[in-house]
Structure 1
Amino acid sequence: MVRRLIHWALAASVLATSATHAQTAASYPSKTVRIVVPYPAGGPVDAAARQVARGLAEQFGQAVVVDNKPGASSSLGAAEVAKSAADGHTLLFTLPDSFTYLPRLFKNLPYDPLKDFAPITQVASTPPVLVLRNDAGVASIKDLGPKSPPISFGTWGSGTYPHLIAAALAQKTRANMTIVGYRGGAPAVQDFMGGHIQMTIAGVPAALDIQAKGLGKIVAVGGGQRSAALPDVPTYAELGFTEGTFSVPSWVALAAPAGTPVEVVNKVRDGVVKVLAEKPMQDFLARFGWSAMGNTPAQFKAALERETPLIAEAMRTAGVQAE
């Protein structure tokens, strides 16, 4: 009799929990959802977030707004989300910086990137491409070496993705390379087009513009596979650069504060997958040369765990010291 009562109590508990979870998913969102973008308004990440917000608002029948919170290399906005209520009404839309780069740049980061967030989904991959000026004296990065002409490589500052690529290239090829830091990608591209530097990392639209103007060519794409937008451009690995730094991808992703109910996380992720299938989002991705992802929370978490040590090693190679 006692065993039977225990069994009934456990069964009732499971049913009650299931009902609560179903109710949580059904009632979400109960108010405006705020997507925090830790970068200034007007850039491609901000534009992508607004496409996601538009689609989710249509599905949820509730307002979804984008709130730009730039500052401290994206840590300001990320920290705000990490400390927000874990109810799914405050989300983070960001690049890998917030999770895998900043812990190696700042000793006192105001959040733990692996413990303070609930991964939702990687929305899209954003292939960073390497451009080389036509007058650089080399035709490919395979031509770089101790006897090749001096090369100036423009980056977006210490510890950024272009800096890690530049340092890894310099170490592997032993080329006479000067690494020049800029305050972002736009001034680096501007100096590249002006002939002040011979190599830099650019987004697909800027790289295609450089190529169309006859100033340079796209010679390599980051990540583990070729970009659908640039199918003829080889990856670093195909060119013989197989070190971990060269395989690190770039992406934009959505996360919630740690402790957000799984049902809410899954509902948001399912919503993003539907947004990715819509024509406005597909047109946006095609315009920027991005590729849709929409993976599961578990897959996103696994990607973070896989990429974190790669970035740490790349930072050591580049001689980056946390401040």
Structure 2
Amino acid sequence: MAPIVQSSQPWVEKYRPKQVKDVAYQDEVVRVLTNTLETGSCPHMLFYGPPGTGKTTTALAIAHQLFGPELYKSRVLELNASDDRGINVVRTKIKDFAAVAVGTNPKKGGYPCPPYKIIVLDEADSMTEDAQNALRRTMETYSKVTRFFFICNYISRIIEPLASRCAKFRFKPLSEEIMSSRILYICNEEGLHLDAEGLSTLSSISQGDLRRAITYLQSSARLFGSHISSKDLISVSGVVPENVVEAILKACKSGNFDLANKEVNNFIAEGYPASQLLTQLFDAIVEEKGTSDKQKARICKKLGEADKCLVDGADEYLQLLDVISNTTKAFCDMPEGLSYEG
């Protein structure tokens, strides 16, 4: 076996872009922010989109490029969802930081150093509505000396008065091509060998999340050495193996509830996540040949209901039983309201 790759820091941090122009695939955002660097004028900003697409990286890069290493600590306040960000924090910590005026520094070391501070609120969609409402007045009152960068996954969870005060930037999931080029660059830097099948697998299991892809790659390198296969990546990612998904589908098609129940028991015993299975079942059902659109619609409706229940904390075993019993009914064209008797 090849020697284990040694690294002193997570590759996610090691290969994080340090400048706005290095952020991959988000062309509109990069274009606007490059203009901000040239002029020094910056609106309040709202970055939203799926995880691992460069939102936090972009916000921190623009802050570093505006102020440089010397002024960064005094001019930029970073708050994450892990910090307490209820209404009291908005009224004290954020308001106190926002209220302090800053001098008009001449350009230091070639950095623009505009006359305002920046407050970065990561995962802003987890802030309470009261806290978001309290921010409205703070944003207006101190807009001359403070800019806010909101970062979130779901823009619908940001109250409209805050969203309307910001320039909005949507971060798109990364395409397979962009992701592959970045992964191959890291493989080259770290001396790894990843074949075409492994690269394709990594793109599909990470679903446009570059951070997740890099983490899977580093985990595989730690466990399996410098030659990484598709199978290695699947084993570290927690993705349910294809043969397990196929066995569950086959059991449902057979119309034998006992067989389907046995597969669910095996699945739970192996410790796979139920939500991951629902995602993969959905993909398998959509691709299923010989199944009518009506049957697919019935199954997908049930998958959606089960997914919602799992998010709300329902029991995985019971939800999977519900899914496979309804999937079996759909495959056998049994009426939805009919009780199943195997």
Bigger relative contact order, structure 1 or 2, given CA contacts below 8 A and separation 6+?
1
Greater helix content: 2
Taking structure 2 as the reference length, the TM-score comes to 0.23
**TM-score relative to the length of structure 1:** 0.24
Q: Which structure is higher in strand share?
A: 1
Structure possessing the higher radius of gyration over alpha carbons = 2
